[in-house]
Amino acid sequence: MGYASFHVSRPSLFSGKSSSYEDADYAVVGVPYDRTSTYRTGSRFAPSAIREASINIETYSMRTGIDVEDLRICDMGDLNVTDTSSEMMERIRLVVEEIVSDGKIPLMLGGEHSISLGGVKALGVDTSVVDFDAHMDLRNEYNGEQFSHASVMRRISERVGPGQIVQIGTRAICKEELEFSEMNPCQRITALDIHRNPIDHTLETLRKMLDGRRRIYLTVDMDVLDPAYAPAVGNPEADGLSPNVLLSLLEEVCRHNVIAVDLTEITPHYDTGATSVQAAKILFESLCAIERHRKDR
Ligand code: MN
Ligand code: MN
């Protein structure tokens, strides 16, 4: 390495540096897919925006005492997007399956929320899914589309069963979803539950919900945060969580066996970068908390 190695950086890498795939514990994959977005489109631009934010925030986690710089992360780039949603899900499934079978934790940067279905399909049917989202995403279909972002948890419930889904931050629902979830109960901590109880109580409730679960797929739909903090999302909903509360809840989730993570629904053109900064922080803190758990075992 000569002169160029000091003066050339690769700004597209998540957190600014990359281990080789062989050495990595965490594999980042961008999924710039937003074909079924209905209101504010453009989450295809989010993987780049999250990477850019991740390069420009500090990497040390005060919550865990771990520095993201010390983690072995490989940024594998972005998946090529296809026109058909079923083919897209299959492509995601193959990539996530390969990463997990190589003993690494995949970290998908969406894209819209429907990508989680591909990720969950890569894992065993005994996988629990922890879903941070303002919405239930339990419609059978939306605009005639069964693989819609608004139906993703319905499809996932068909795979792993509603009892293996834990939804957190719920506050925006429709009658069809309410009826479905009365017949097919998921575990749920609503935004109101969180607002009306002390955080320690909520953390304890969450811990009890997760204890004994074999493995967890963690998905964060960024609209779980209040639009004051994360305005650039596909379907913003008021009365949401604060970043502090979300990070505390994520820290608790990551005390359990999280084996895959995604973060979805950012539409970067709707703000000046705040939502992507929140996303980068969420991912950094989650990775550090997962790392701490892996070390402790
Ligand atoms: Mn969602
Ligand atoms: Mn949502």
Q: How far is the CA of 28 from the centre of ligand 1 (A)?
A: 20
Q: How far is the CA of 7 from the centre of ligand 1 (A)?
A: 41
Token reading at 285: 């803190």
Ligand with minimal distance to 112 CA = 1
Q: How far is the CA of 91 from the centre of ligand 1 (A)?
A: 20
Query: Which sign, positive or negative, has the C-alpha torsion 149, 154, 160, 162?
Result: positive
Q: Which helix (H) or strand (E) holds 218?
A: strand 215-221
Residue 232: the pLDDT is 98
> What's the CATH code of the domain at 156?
3.40.800.10
Residue 64: the pLDDT is 97
Q: How far is the CA of 99 from the centre of ligand 2 (A)?
A: 26
Ligand with minimal distance to 173 CA = 2
> Given its phi and psi angles, is residue 133 left (phi above 0), alpha (psi -120 to 50 degrees) or beta?
beta
Residue 135: the pLDDT is 98
Q: How far is the CA of 286 from the centre of ligand 2 (A)?
A: 19
DSSP state of 65: T
132 bridge partner residues:
168, 220
Q: CA-CA distance, 239 to 104, in Å (whole number)?
A: 36
Q: How far is the CA of 266 from the centre of ligand 2 (A)?
A: 10
Residue 145 CA from chain centroid, whole number: 22
Residue numbers of the domain that contains 35: 3-296
Ligand with minimal distance to 113 CA = 1
Ligand with minimal distance to 139 CA = 1
Q: CA-CA distance, 243 to 206, in Å (whole number)?
A: 17
Q: CA-CA distance, 297 to 284, in Å (whole number)?
A: 20
Q: How far is the CA of 68 from the centre of ligand 1 (A)?
A: 27
Number of domains the chain contains: 1
What DSSP line would sit under 114-177, residue for residue?
Answer: THHHHHHHTS-TTEEEEEE-SB----S-BTTBTT-GGGHHHHHHHHH-GGGEEEEEE-B--HHH
What string of pLDDT tens digits covers the 297 residues of the chain? 566 566 665 557 999 888 999 999 999 999 999 999 888 999 999 999 999 999 999 999 999 999 999 999 999 999 999 989 999 999 999 999 999 999 999 999 999 999 999 999 999 999 999 999 999 999 999 989 999 999 999 999 999 999 999 999 999 999 999 999 999 999 999 999 999 999 999 999 999 999 999 999 999 999 999 999 999 999 999 999 999 999 999 999 999 999 999 999 999 999 999 999 999 999 999 999 999 999 887
Q: How far is the CA of 296 from the centre of ligand 1 (A)?
A: 32
Peptide bond into 111 cis (omega under 30): yes
Q: How far is the CA of 239 from the centre of ligand 1 (A)?
A: 16
Q: How far is the CA of 153 from the centre of ligand 1 (A)?
A: 8
